[in-house]
């Protein structure tokens, strides 16, 4: 899979999520980085569809974390925006389900990388012309191999 993507529409962001989901295995950690409105939730919604989650995937801003079952792998969707430290992440006890799930964390850079030996970072941005971009950054040899 190529590592840089232009995403002119929300549907393109969603489609990238569906495609990425095909690469995911239980235990995977995905860290989404980008400003407000860059497409983090739209990407996660596509991941949910790609994993076969039957329920709507919505932003967990106020509940911090949601678990979605029903797909080939459970999806743990975390919004770490209001978390201030690694200790706050530890309090969520995400590592209890991390081995059996795909964990996608919005706003998690610098807070959640310790949850897995390797992870995929997805840097999303929104250009002035309203086109979103995504850069896939593998952390660990397993992700380098999977992305080709």
Q: Which domain holds residue 61?
A: 4-147
C-alpha 129/C-alpha 146 separation (Å) is 31
Give the pLDDT of residue 61: 62
Q: How many domains does the chain have?
A: 1
Question: DSSP strand E in 34-118: where?
Answer: 65-68, 75-79, 102-106
CATH number, residue 38: 3.40.50.300
Residues sharing a CB contact under 8 Å with residue 44, sequence separation 6 or more, in sequence order: 17, 32, 57, 75, 77, 104, 106
Q: Which of 4-13, 28-37, 73-82, 84-93 has the least mean pLDDT?
A: 84-93
Element (H, E) at 135: strand 132-139
List C-alpha distances in Å: 78 to 6, 9, 105. Answer: 25, 24, 5
Q: Taking residues 70-85, what's their average pLDDT?
A: 78
Per-residue pLDDT tens digits for 101-126: 899 998 777 777 777 889 999 999 99
- The answer to whether 19 touches 54, Cβ cutoff 8 Å, is no
In sequence order, what are the beta bridge partners of 33?
Answer: 123
- The answer to whether 77 touches 65, Cβ cutoff 8 Å, is yes
């Amino acid at each position: 899979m190529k590592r840089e993507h232009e995403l002119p529409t929300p549907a393109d962001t969603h489609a990238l999520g569906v495609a990425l989901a095909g690469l995911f295995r239980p235990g995977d950690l995905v860290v989404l980085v980008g400003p407000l409105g860059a497409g983090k939730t739209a990407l996660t919604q596509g991941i949910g569809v790609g994993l076969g989650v039957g329920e709507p995937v919505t932003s967990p801003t106020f509940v911090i974390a949601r678990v979605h079952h029903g797909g080939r792998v459970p999806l743990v969707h975390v919004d770490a925006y209001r978390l201030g430290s690694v200790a706050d992440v530890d309090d969520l006890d995400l590592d209890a389900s991390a081995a059996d799930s795909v964990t996608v964390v919005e706003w998690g850079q610098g807070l959640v990388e310790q949850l897995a030996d390797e992870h995929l970072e997805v840097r999303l941005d929104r250009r002035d012309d309203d086109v979103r971009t995504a850069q896939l950054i593998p952390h660990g040899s397993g992700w380098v191999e999977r992305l080709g």
